[in-house]
């Protein structure tokens, strides 16, 4: 949560910083601010509200400067007020700092600094940092030494960027929060995530924990945790500037729903061989599976639902697999052994709960293979191996295309694991499944072009609550459908295993609670029966199923998906549910790309 950006280069930093912050708003949008070096010192503009509001203020104040830092906030310490907005400065305005993360020892540092006479004006943990830098500058002749000493005092997680009055450079550090360096001839960028500067450069360096960076308009220097100057290898990311814009769409979410055919094509490319019934995951060294006895998948939110899907594929193949909510995993007494393969599933690769589960697994000697979208992410770097879902950047806070790519990656990974483990076997119908997977991108286009979700949404606005039911592999889709719906419509929605409805939740069913029935996959018939039990109690049934599926006649409204392999039907049904959530939220005039209280990358536990 929170996004930071810094720029040093010949061009004016202000526009670059604000544009970059807009691309980072998925990380938080409670307040925003920038600080730039200009002739008269450090100019700071910040306020509660989203980036567009700071843009207006800056355009009015017409600040400029070639070196600057910026921040968009998801509040942790202190409410979203102007005072708590970053950058935070010293009372002398000598130092300005932006920060993503949590400073755990901020209370002790604040007490120490207050005793030294420093005055605080915000509730944030961050405000200790500019004062610490200022404090050590009084003792050191070089700012870099003072900055490093300040950083050494910090406990917790942080990505920090700082400006110091009359110095045309940015000082930055990372420990536990993401920070990427972008290089473009004589322009340099630092940001929490690549979309912030992708329109300027695709050449990036993923910084390591403990790194300190000094950016100047014509130079970027990296120092390791021992203070030694280091070269870090860079890479060219396979993302395009168009990937991070809205294009002709009203919302990122709608764009990302529509783009699923192309993102999924990238996920699948080169990995399936239907003729020989084989899966190729080039980045996974099969030897890593030697000695694996069981599999744990750990994840949060939407990624947890993808993990449920993956676990079902694994158990169907005879692999002992369990799914854990990542936030529960670390403290669980010893479910992990050296024979356990732990698969953290995380789009961002930065979710604190999932990283904590990954670290627990590593401590207990397990083998770890992360499934993630972000190549240089912390999860990718800390796991023994990574399998990338290749979905491209996702900006909408509500995950859509990354869920689809996660599920398909896990389907492929499950079969790879099953092929390697002694007591497991790949699916008998694997050639047919792989052939069907290759068709899914085309089928997604068909769903998106023909969906009647928008018409349906207009009838859905007045109900009390919304239920989603599914069985077997359609259960994770029901859970995901409900999560997406509540996340962006702010209406009450719950997903259930359809067989569980009559064991409690049926008490909630009335004519005011429509039930979405996932009539897809191998177990559709039973879900139809369960849906009819709700219909008998007055609920409207919205079926989602294949063209001529038996559920069509039993439903009050029916959203169709192409009649393909049962496993793939579930992926297509999920696209219909994404569209239902989107159109309902739109008609309710919700903040679709930035739902209230939520941020995309949840870097606190």
Tokens of 423: 């007591």
Rounded to a whole number of angstroms, the minimum distance from the CB of residue 299 to ligand F6R is 6
DSSP letter string, 92-116: TS-EEEEEEEEETTHHHHHHHHHHT
CA angle 561, 564, 570 (to 5 degrees): 60
Choose, by CB under 6 A, the member of 33, 301, 514, 566 that binds ligand F6R.
301
To which H or E segment does residue 264 belong? helix 260-268
Q: 403 pairs with which residues across the strands?
A: none
Rounded to a whole number of angstroms, the minimum distance from the CB of residue 370 to ligand F6R is 10
Rounded to a whole number of angstroms, the minimum distance from the CB of residue 37 to ligand F6R is 34
79-88 burial, b for 16+ CB within 10 Å, e for fewer? ebeebbbbbb
The CA distance from 243 to 222, in Å, is 29
Q: By Cβ distance, which residue is nearest to ligand F6R?
A: 301
Which is nearer to ligand F6R, 299 or 473 (by Cβ)?
299
Q: Which of 255, 416, 594, 600 is catalytic?
A: 600
Window contacting ligand F6R (CB under 6 A); options: 92-100, 346-354, 413-421, 501-509: 346-354
206-223 burial, b for 16+ CB within 10 Å, e for fewer? bbbbebbbbbbbeebebb
Which is nearer to ligand F6R, 136 or 206 (by Cβ)?
206
Which is nearer to ligand F6R, 44 or 342 (by Cβ)?
342
Check residue 354 for interaction with ligand F6R (CB under 6 A): yes
Interface pattern 479-518 for ligand F6R (x via CB under 6 A): ----x---x-------------------------------
Q: In three state form, how does the secondary structure of 564-601 look?
A: CCHHHHHHHHHHHHHHHHHHHHHHCCCCCCCCCCCCCC
Choose, by CB under 6 A, the member of 399, 430, 444, 478 that binds ligand F6R.
399
Residue 568 annotated among the catalytic residues of the structure: no
Check residue 84 for interaction with ligand F6R (CB under 6 A): no
Check residue 348 for interaction with ligand F6R (CB under 6 A): yes
Rounded to a whole number of angstroms, the minimum distance from the CB of residue 374 to ligand F6R is 8
Window contacting ligand F6R (CB under 6 A); options: 31-39, 84-92, 157-165, 297-305: 297-305
Rounded to a whole number of angstroms, the minimum distance from the CB of residue 193 to ligand F6R is 11
Tokens of 450: 């023909």
Choose, by CB under 6 A, the member of 192, 261, 346, 570 that binds ligand F6R.
346
Backbone Cα Rg of the chain:
25
Window contacting ligand F6R (CB under 6 A); options: 20-28, 340-348, 495-503, 573-581: 340-348
User: By C-alpha distance, which of 524, 565, 574 is closest to 439?
Assistant: 565
Residue 600 annotated among the catalytic residues of the structure: yes
Check residue 398 for interaction with ligand F6R (CB under 6 A): yes
Choose, by CB under 6 A, the member of 173, 257, 300, 430 that binds ligand F6R.
300
* Most distant CA atoms of the chain, gap in Å: 80
Contacts of 595 (CB under 8 A, 6+ apart): 397, 398, 487, 488, 490
Choose, by CB under 6 A, the member of 351, 527, 530, 564 that binds ligand F6R.
351
DSSP letter string, 377-393: SHHHHHSSEEEE-----
Which is nearer to ligand F6R, 146 or 398 (by Cβ)?
398
Q: Which of 2, 46, 484, 568 is catalytic?
A: 2
Compute how many other C-beta atoms are within 10 angstroms of the C-beta atom of residue 15.
14
DSSP letter string, 184-238: ETTEEEEESSGGGTTTT--EEEEPPTT-EEEEETTEEEEE-TTS-EE----EE-S
- Binding footprint of ligand F6R on the chain (CB under 6 A): 300-303, 346-348, 351, 354, 398-399, 483, 487, 602
Instruction: Give me the active site residues, please.
Output: 2, 600
């Amino acid at each position: 949560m929170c996004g930071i950006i810094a720029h040093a280069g010949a061009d004016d930093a202000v526009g670059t910083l604000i544009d970059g912050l807009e691309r980072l708003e998925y990380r938080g949008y409670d307040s925003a601010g920038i600080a730039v070096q200009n002739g008269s010192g450090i100019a700071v503009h910040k306020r509660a509200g989203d980036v567009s509001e700071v843009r207006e203020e800056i355009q009015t104040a017409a600040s400029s400067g070639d070196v600057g830092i910026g921040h968009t906030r998801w509040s942790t310490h202190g409410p979203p007020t102007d005072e708590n907005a970053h950058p935070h400065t010293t009372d002398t305005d000598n130092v300005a700092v932006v920060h993503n993360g949590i400073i755990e020892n901020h209370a002790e540092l604040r007490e120490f600094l207050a005793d030294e006479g420093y005055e605080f004006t915000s509730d944030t943990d961050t405000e200790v940092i500019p004062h610490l830098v200022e404090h050590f500058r009084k003792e050191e002749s070089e700012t870099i030494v003072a900055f490093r000493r300040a950083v050494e005092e910090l406990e917790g997680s942080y990505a920090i960027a700082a400006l110091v009055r009359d110095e045309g450079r940015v000082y930055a550090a990372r420990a536990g929060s993401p920070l990427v360096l972008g290089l473009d001839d004589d322009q340099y960028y630092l940001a929490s995530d690549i979309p912030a500067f992708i329109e300027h450069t695709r050449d990036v360096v993923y910084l390591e924990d403990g790194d300190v960076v000094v950016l100047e308009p014509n130079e970027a220097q990296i120092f390791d945790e021992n203070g030694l100057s280091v070269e870090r290898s860079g890479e060219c990311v396979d993302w395009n500037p168009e990937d991070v814009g809205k294009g002709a769409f009203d919302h990122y979410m709608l764009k990302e729903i529509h783009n699923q055919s192309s993102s999924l094509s990238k996920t699948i490319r080169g990995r399936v061989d239907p003729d020989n019934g084989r899966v190729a995951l080039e980045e996974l060294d099969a030897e890593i599976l030697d000695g694996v006895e069981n599999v744990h998948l750990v994840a949060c939110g939407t990624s947890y639902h993808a993990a449920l899907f993956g676990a079902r594929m694994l158990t169907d193949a005879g692999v002992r697999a369990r799914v854990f909510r990542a936030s529960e995993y670390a403290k669980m007494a010893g479910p992990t052994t050296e024979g356990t393969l732990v698969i953290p599933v995380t789009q961002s690769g930065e979710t604190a709960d999932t990283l904590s589960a990954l670290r627990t697994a590593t401590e207990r000697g397990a083998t770890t293979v992360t499934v993630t979208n972000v190549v240089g992410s912390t999860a990718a770097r800390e796991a023994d191996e990574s399998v990338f879902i290749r979905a491209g950047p996702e900006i909408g806070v509500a995950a859509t295309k990354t869920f689809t790519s996660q599920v398909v990656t896990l389907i492929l990974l499950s079969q790879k694991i099953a092929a390697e483990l002694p007591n497991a076997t790949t699916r008998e119908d694997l050639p047919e499944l792989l052939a069907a997977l290759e068709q899914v991108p085309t089928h997604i286009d068909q769903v998106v072009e023909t969906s009647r979700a928008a018409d349906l949404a207009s009838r859905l606005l007045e109900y009390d609550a919304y239920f989603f039911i599914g069985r077997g592999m359609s259960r994770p889709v029901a859970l995901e459908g409900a999560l997406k719906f509540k996340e962006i419509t702010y209406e009450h929605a719950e997903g259930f295993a359809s067989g569980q409805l009559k064991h409690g939740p049926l008490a909630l069913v009335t004519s005011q609670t429509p039930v979405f029935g996932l009539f897809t996959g191998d177990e559709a018939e039973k879900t139809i029966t369960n849906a009819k039990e709700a219909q008998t109690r007055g609920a409207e049934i919205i079926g989602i199923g294949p063209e001529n599926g038996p559920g069509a006649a039993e439903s009050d409204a029916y959203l169709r998906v192409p009649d393909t392999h049962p496993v793939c039907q579930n992926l297509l049904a999920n696209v219909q549910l994404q569209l239902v959530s989107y159109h309902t939220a739109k008609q309710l005039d919700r903040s679709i790309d930035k739902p209230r209280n939520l941020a995309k990358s949840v870097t606190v536990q």
